[in-house]
Amino acid sequence: MAIWKRSIELDELNRMGENSLVAHLGIVFTVIGDDYLEAIMPVDARTQQPFGLLHGGASVVLAESMGSIAGYLSVEEGKSVVGIEVSASHHRAVSSGEVRGICRPLHLGARNQSWQIEIRNGRDQLCCSSRLTVAVLG
């Protein structure tokens, strides 16, 4: 069952991130499923820490971007969401290629939402698990 209250195509969703940190880091939304979103992010000079590994902060940007967009898509016109808490556990290092985020709801309430974001490497291994809580406004 679809959870989205707003209808949007992938190209329009990706245009929303233009001229922002999302575009700067090369984040691209790739799938809008009935109850999940997927996006990819390159592991390159934009997203690596000085030791050549994916920066934990870049993973958090991917997770928060995905959860915020998912929250926006799951509330009705006239409402919006703002992030109020984000956490991330880093499980495996990534040094090149790209990572894929998968965002699914844990709780979709009238006042707040919780989203689970898994970030996986090119071999589909879990690299980071993140949780975002957003407040529903409006």
Residues belonging to the active site: 64
DSSP string, the chain: ----SS---HHHHHHTTTTSHHHHTT-EEEEE-SS-EEEEEE-STTTB-TTSSBPHHHHHHHHHHHHHHHHHHTS-TT-EEEEEEEEEEE-S---SSEEEEEEEEEEE-SSEEEEEEEEE-TT--EEEEEEEEEEEE-
- What single letter denotes the amino acid at residue 68? S
